[in-house]
Chain A
Amino acid sequence: MTASAKAHDDREITDVDNLAQRFERLGYVTDRALATAVYLVTKLRKPLLIEGHAGLGKTEVAKTLAAMLGTRLIRLQCYEGLDVNSAVYEWNYQKQLLAIKIEERTEQTVEEKEKHIFSREFLLERPLLQSILAKDASPVLLIDEIDRADEAFEAFLLELLSDFQITVPEMGTIKAKYVPYVILTSNRTRELSDALKRRCFYHWIDYPSFEKEMKIVRARLPGIAEELGEQVVRFVHAVRQLDLIKPPGVTETLDCAQSAMTLGKHRLDVQAVEECLGCVVKSQEDSARLKAAGIEKMLS
């Protein structure tokens, strides 16, 4: 492949399979359903809402997308009580006050002074504003765990996602020059509003099949012995069948395999599982339930 052809290849996403391959090259094993959804995001620039249990690589989608497009990833982690000041913008009050003091003796009119202290220089850009102000290329905006933010914030987000513009009363409306690629993730701890869901493509991310999870293990832990990998994946699959409070995700599989490797295990036996138990289950109740179900039985 010549250099120019390669450069072309890097920029243009030709079809769904092409996108899936690139994701895989970046270490993210995907399936066609997800690849199709992400492909549509890149083509139609609508946000994508990804729901699913914890530890299945929701956040990773956005990171991989940014890496693939060679663009910036802007991340907004939602939490209860997240407000516009920490998500969009805030005036730098300290700097403004200092500026007023400095300009006290100058000849400027009040209007000029006001215009100055409410200019971009004094604006603290938070993630959402940053995503709109991108100067050279569309960034990837990851709005992580949107279900943790409250309804008021969700309503605000709606406005942003439909117009990609933000109004700062003192400055006027700022419109995105490059519309960001938006990925939202949710753990389903609460129902999102219909209006928001309608604005987005939707993808439900489920626990992977045995084959897919093996592929992920191989991609993420290249040094792992095939047998050990298979045992870990099979074991985690069996654990997911139990009625646990927090079933292990793919992250847990990888942690468990990694620890087994670090501990120098070549195969997963009862002792090895007990040593790595903390990687798979994350609470005392779950660990009791797992032990009650019989570790030996689940390994066979």
Chain B
Amino acid sequence: MQHEEPDRSAASIIEFCRFARDNGLSIGVQQTLDAVEVAKTIGAADREELAFALRAVLTSSKEEWHRFNELFEMFWSASQRAQESQSEESKEARFRTHRSQASSRALLAQSANEASSANREGKDVSGASAQQRLQTVDLSDVPRDDLAALEQISARLFRKMSLRISRRRHIQNLADRVDVRRTIRRSIPRGGDPIDLAFRGKKPRKQRLVIFLDVSGSMNSYSLFLVRFAYALQKYFRNVHTFLFSTNVVEISDVLRNRDLSAALRGLSGRAAGWAGGTKIGESLQEFNLRHGGKLLSRNTVFIILSDGWDTGEPAELAAELRKIRRRVRKLIWLNPLLGLEEYTPVTRGMSAALPYVNVFAAAHNLQSLLAVERYL
């Protein structure tokens, strides 16, 4: 193993940091300095230990953590080979070679990633007017070329929305400190001096969100985005439970909790049964009430149904289940993509049976309408 001993001079550590940064690890100047110091601290240890030590400094997430070993191998084996062949060349030139060699290998391994990041740059420069247009276009009419751009805008806007909501809640929470009224009451036996301060409880209640998302055939063109909407909410709220339904119900909260959206979507395709089939809202809600109702429905719950209301089941059953939910939750919101159509009126049997129990009935056909949901949370 002696010949594989990596060169651990400060220059090569710095070179490695630069290489790792070029390959997508987020490394700043401070990390680079730390890496040099760490390599010094570890001292004359073996290659494995150096790898562990540098990994502890240079990564900061599970994804980077798993990528690191590959980069480490790539860099040091490339530099090893270069060292053997051109040992007589000046140090400066040698490092330059390492770099180009190493990064060309990295490029090969990363072409897919590369392509997507180039794409991202392209999207970022799409002008404000295009963004405006995309926010209002009906989600089922998005041209194929715009899908990626829309996806990106929606991710950003959904994130902003969720942050706004959580901040708002936070400020409300700050208001509860000393309870003046009870403090004064308690001070009476002490001659009016407020010795015992009474505090009001910190969090009166935590809001829970249950999202019930229709993935039947008629919702096909919308469900793609609505899943992302659910994903965004899930990501920034702790207490969100998401269910997919068409003819039966599947909980997907755990899949959506995945930090990488595309991984989450892949997980979904494995999970969803009867995706793009018929709809039985009433039956699905019944199943939900039976299995999860007791656990998830309370006065702190906001229940959101995302569905077009095309139901092949019994309207009476739908109404009965909705009544059960309505009795137990704080707010029942029905978002209907069809409401965006001018000629649409909610006269389908299912929808008209449901309306009496719904607190908020709103559209969900484009980004703007989805963002408007913030008002009700």
Contact = CB atoms under 8 A, between A and B. Distances in A.
Interface of A: 15-16, 32-33, 36-37, 40, 43-44, 46, 48-49, 51, 80-81, 93-94, 97-98, 101, 148, 150, 152, 188-191, 194, 197-198, 200-204, 245, 285
B349 interface: no
B53 A40 contact: yes
12 contacts: A15-B43, A32-B52, A33-B52, A36-B52, A36-B56, A40-B53, A80-B203, A93-B197, A94-B197, A189-B238, A190-B238, A198-B28
A44 B38 contact: yes
B42 interface: yes
Interface string B21-40: 00000101011001001100
A190 B61 CA distance: 12
Given A94-B197, A98-B195, A48 B56 contact: yes
B53 A94 contact: no
Contact of B195 (A48, A51, A97): A97
A33 B56 CA distance: 8
A202 B59 contact: yes
Contacts of B105: none
Interface string B232-264: 000110100000000000010010010100000
Interface string B197-238: 100001100100000000000000000000000000001101
B193 interface: yes
Contacts of B53: 36-37, 40
Contacts of B65: 202-204
Contact of A81 (B42, B55, B61, B202): B202
Contacts of B66: 204
A97 B193 contact: yes
Contacts of A33: 52, 55-56
A32 B50 CA distance: 11
A203 B194 contact: no
A33 to B, nearest CB: 5
Interface in B48-72: 48-49, 52-53, 55-57, 59-62, 64-66
Contact of B62 (A16, A44, A48, A188): A188
A244 to B, nearest CB: 9
Contacts of A98: 195
B60 A94 contact: no
Given A40-B53, A51-B62, A198-B60, 10 more contacts: A15-B43, A37-B52, A46-B34, A49-B60, A80-B238, A101-B193, A189-B238, A198-B28, A202-B64, A204-B59
Contacts of A43: 41
Nearest to A34: B52
A16 B56 contact: no
Contacts of A198: 26, 28, 30-31, 60
B196 interface: yes
